[in-house]
Amino acid sequence: MEKRAVVTRFAPSPTGYLHIGGLRTALFNYLYARKHGGKFLIRIEDTDLARNSKDAAQAILESFAWVGLECDGEILYQSERFPLYASYAKRLVEEGKAYYCYMSKEELEQLRDSQRAQGITPRYDNRYRDFSGTPPSDRTPVIRIKAPLNGEIAFDDGVKGRICVQAKELDDFIILRSDGSPTYNFVVAIDDALMGVTDVIRGDDHTSNTPKQILIYQALNFPIPKFYHIPMILNPEGKKLSKRDGAMGVMDYKLMGYLPEALLNFLVRLGWSYEDKEIFSLQEMCALFDAKDINSSASRYNQEKFLWLNQHYIKACDDIRLEALLGEFGAKLEAYQAPIKSLLFSALKDRSKTLLEFAAQLKEIQTPPQTYDEKMLQKLDSSALKALAELAEEATETAKFKQHFTSPESLESYLHSFAESKSIKIGKLMPALRLALLGKGGGIGVCETLLILGEEQSIERIQALLKYIG
Ligand code: GLU
């Protein structure tokens, strides 16, 4: 058989935001296509006109744009293809592979009730399968596929291995409803075939749909793609992922200060691995990914690992991009000269797992302390206060302080000699200075803080603390 060029697709139903599980499915499809130099397509499955919305479809595409997964070709919308699906349904009727069924909803309900009463799984009883009489004139029929009456439907799933379903477990399911709308399994098979999809990678909640779709491929003489059904992402306790665990829309991660490359790296490792490698650029993923390496057991969401990856990518982010990203979190950085900015970035990159944290810490540095840490205040003795006052005085009256605002090292050596000249231990001066500058312990280095604040701000903050203490 001729080998077809790889075509994969992601086929979301636009009922809400794009969930991270969906993005992982899309990523696997994207990578598989890129790895094989094939195509990655997007199809919006919006046949359920009551539940689907244009806004949700737009939100899904916005998520794709944010993470940078580009699709090939036009995005296909199933809602625009109803006439096409109907024509395939009619063709199957003409070929004797599908048929009109005139059973009313009430009759179907009655049948199901009686089957349930007998302890049988409810299923359509094929009553119109070979019908050749005069159809009831008051009913618009549905179209049902003629499913095989015996034998089995089997396929080799790329993740789960061979899957076999007995034909008797499938009934003659509806492919076109009486209102002319097509059903899910029918349109998925038609579209995958017409789009030339060779490999279907999707969540394993769709495993049970596959035999039905295979019947459609067979009836329409379409080549059957290779299927890969990937297990769900579970929470750390092994339960279904919930909002609390982080099962949110992709764009929520943006708002929480995650970088798109961190999200993709996090997702690719949920259900796929390559040796013991953890960090993957998109390029590396494209080169190394193989659908046959997808794990057959469910993966678990690990928030700590996600944060670790995010910090890795924040650290790797160049200053220009970082500034633009932080701008979205309200960070104000225009006032800083380039060397100060890069000092600030490298100090905060080490302390920030998200951009949100980064921007919050920056704001803390930029905002003069409104209160002071009580414990640290109590530790300030008269010698430390005196030294602070003398430092402020030296800074305002001489150029000594100012001329060391060139690097943290220069300020460090100045403060050491200042402390020595005033006979105060550096270990006492530094915490006092930190309290004056930031209002509390912790945070970036004192000399870095001085440089970032600049001479004037630094003096103001020292004076403010002295004033506060009175
Ligand atoms: N529209 C389906 C969903 O969002 C996916 C169908 C498929 O991948 O075959 O779950």
Per-residue pLDDT of the chain (470 residues; tens, 9 = 90+): 557 799 999 999 998 889 999 999 999 999 999 999 999 999 999 998 888 888 888 899 999 999 999 999 999 999 999 999 999 999 999 999 999 999 999 999 999 999 999 999 899 999 999 999 999 999 999 999 999 999 999 999 999 999 999 998 999 999 999 999 999 999 999 999 999 999 999 999 999 999 999 999 999 999 999 999 999 999 999 998 888 887 689 999 999 999 999 999 999 999 999 999 999 999 999 999 999 899 999 999 999 999 999 999 999 999 999 999 999 999 999 999 999 999 999 999 999 999 999 999 999 999 999 999 999 999 999 999 999 999 999 999 988 889 999 999 999 999 999 999 999 999 999 999 999 999 999 999 999 999 999 999 999 999 999 999 98
CA of 202 to the centre of ligand 1 (A): 7
Strand partners, 240: 234
The two three-digit tokens of residue 157, written as one number: 């799933």
Q: Which residues line ligand 1 (CB under 6 A)?
A: 11-13, 45, 188, 202, 206
- CA–centroid distance, 230 to ligand 1, in Å, is 12
Ligand 1 pocket, mutate which of 188, 197, 212 (most atoms under 8 A from CB): 188
Rounded CA gap, 219 and 189, in Å?
Answer: 11
Report CA(218)–ligand 1 centroid distance (Å).
20
pTM over 0.75: yes
Per the listing, tokens 């302890």 go with 119
Q: Which domains does the chain have, with CATH numbers?
A: 7-72+186-230 (3.40.50.620), 89-176 (3.90.800.10), 250-320 (1.10.1160.10), 368-469 (1.10.10.350)
> Count of residues for the chain?
470
Closest ligand 1 atom to 10 CA: 8
Task: Provide the sign of the torsion angle of the four alpha carbons 334, 336, 339, 340, taken in this order.
Answer: negative
Q: Which two tokens stand for residue 253?
A: 């991660």
Measure 334 CA to ligand 1 centroid, in angstroms. Answer: 46
State how far the Cα of 314 lies from the Cα of 312, in Å rounded to an integer.
Answer: 6
- Kindly report the protein residue whose alpha carbon is nearest to atom 7 of ligand 1: 11
The residues that are catalytic are: 243
Task: Please spell the DSSP secondary structure of 366-396, one letter per residue.
Answer: HSPPSS--HHHHHH--HHHHHHHHHHHHHHH
292 is in an annotated binding site: no
Q: What share of the chain is helix, strand, coil (3-state, %, to 5)?
A: 50, 10, 35
Contact call for residues 295 and 272 (beta carbons, < 8 A): yes
